Structure 1
Amino acid sequence: MNDQQGGGEQRDVITVLVTDHREVEQMFAELETMIGAIGERPQTLAEQVVIELVRHSVAEEAYLYPAVREHVPGGDELADKEIAEHAEAEKTMKRLERLEPGDDDFWPVLEELMREIRHHIQDEEGDLFPRLRAACPPEALTELGAKVERAKKLAPTRPHPSAPDKPPADKLLAPGAGLIDRLRDALTGRGRS
């Protein structure tokens, strides 16, 4: 997913994450035109979706949700709900990772993932993001945007449902897992169009 918009100006965290959401939705829309298809393109696109979702969720868990806990009234409950949704989606991604478009379960599992992620996006954009924007100073949102973009570059690219999802353990383990995942991806060609 794109790290910065043209001109090099740093975007705030909400803009960064909404851009991620739109890019994932574009991939979902393309996959929906292929439902039932067998071949390399749906496999590659599904892999790209998983890579982007994992990077996105790791960055959210490391920086967005701690900011929600700190700044938003009722933020602990809100962050816990979002993290629980991530955990469910990671389990679905792990199941999808073991499948290919020719497998009976591939398309149903992918459709389940799309439903989970679309629900999560609707929650974040309709509730969490407006509450965070109202409660957090603009400069803090911009600083969070930079942190999220850096975290995505180091984040794992494969689902790790049993990995810690709360600070500080998430920040300690993500770069190592991310390096190993990127090496595996390079060796296997995973996620390349």
Structure 2
Amino acid sequence: MPETIKEQTVEQLGGPSSVLARQRRDHAEMDRLMDRYQALADGEDRERVLQETVQLVFSHAFAEETVLWPAVRRSVEDGHELTLRVEEEHQQINDLVADIERLSPGSPEREEKVRRVFALIRQDIRDEEDLVLPRLQESLPAAQLRRLGTAWDAVRRSAPTHPHPVIPRRPPGNAVLGVPLGLYDRMRDAFGLSASRAAVKKVLTGLAGVLVLVAAVAMRRKRR
């Protein structure tokens, strides 16, 4: 059985730019933020830490689903089963956080959902570091892990930072919808805007118009 990436050195993981090292750094930051939230009393600081946690978790998961899990499915013998397990965890986290964002801060129901989502995030981290990522490490050379890390980081920097039920868990659907929703989320984060279904609908309507236009241009070129 391959060794968990949790206890390996950065050099063993392929260097600081390796996707394995990048994943582990994000996981450590998630753990730190969740511990910080649980240590704080109710208030603005606690809510800010929760929002930072959500933003990191969702951008991280989107990069995994867009870049990393396809590589696992291509390279690891039972990659489909391994990635399906973490995708199911991601969907549960998505649903719980969507509920949390609709509930009032400090309410007992909301705190119970936060507790549950933190437990799921910690389980997801363990599944990735102990089961999925060691198998990828066995299958790919360090140079390829570093190339994956570069692609993963580029996607994470522009990924959605909040739950969206319309985003599929796998490419190409998640990659197509992730671009406009990532832009919307990051504007929302920057200006402190609350979630709005109407705003999301406008984003998706705009995206649909762009896709129709692109398809029409492609068809015209094909006929020539």
Same fold (TM over 0.5): yes
Matched, 1:33 2:39: yes
Given that 1:155 and 1:174 are in contact with CA atoms closer than 8 Å, whether structure 2 keeps it comes out as yes
Structure 1: segments with no counterpart, 5+ residues: none
How many angstroms does 1:100 deviate by? 3.7
How many angstroms does 1:141 deviate by? 0.8
Amino acid at match of 2:175: K
1:40-88: CA deviation from partner (whole Å, max 9, x where unpaired): 1111111111100000000000011001100111111111111111111
SS in 1 for 2:108: coil
Matched, 1:86 2:90: yes
- The 5 A counterparts of 1:150-169 are 150-169=154-173
Aligned to 1:11: 17
Residues of 2 paired with 1:56 and 1:181: CA distance?
Answer: 14
SS in 1 for 2:126: helix
- The 5 A counterparts of 1:41-52 are 41-52=45-56
Higher alpha-carbon deviation: 180-189 or 78-87: 180-189
Given that 1:55 and 1:155 are in contact with CA atoms closer than 8 Å, whether structure 2 keeps it comes out as yes
1:80-128: CA deviation from partner (whole Å, max 9, x where unpaired): 1111111111111111112343222222111101100101111111111
Matched, 1:181 2:217: no
TM-score, with length taken from structure 2: 0.77
Residues of 1 paired with 2:165 and 2:16: CA distance?
Answer: 31
1:1-51: CA deviation from partner (whole Å, max 9, x where unpaired): xxxx9xxx86111110110000000001111213xx321111111111110
Given that 1:10 and 1:146 are in contact with CA atoms closer than 8 Å, whether structure 2 keeps it comes out as no
How many angstroms does 1:189 deviate by? 6.3
Structure 2: segments with no counterpart, 5+ residues: 1-9, 195-224
What is the RMSD of the two structures over their aligned residues, measured on CA atoms?
A: 1.7
How many angstroms does 1:187 deviate by? 2.2
SS in 2 for 1:154: coil
Residues of 1 paired with 2:116 and 2:165: CA distance?
Answer: 17
Residues of 2 paired with 1:55 and 1:72: CA distance?
Answer: 24
Residues of 2 paired with 1:186 and 1:113: CA distance?
Answer: 24
Among 26, 29, 34, which residue is 1:20 paired with?
Answer: 26
TM-score, with length taken from structure 1: 0.88
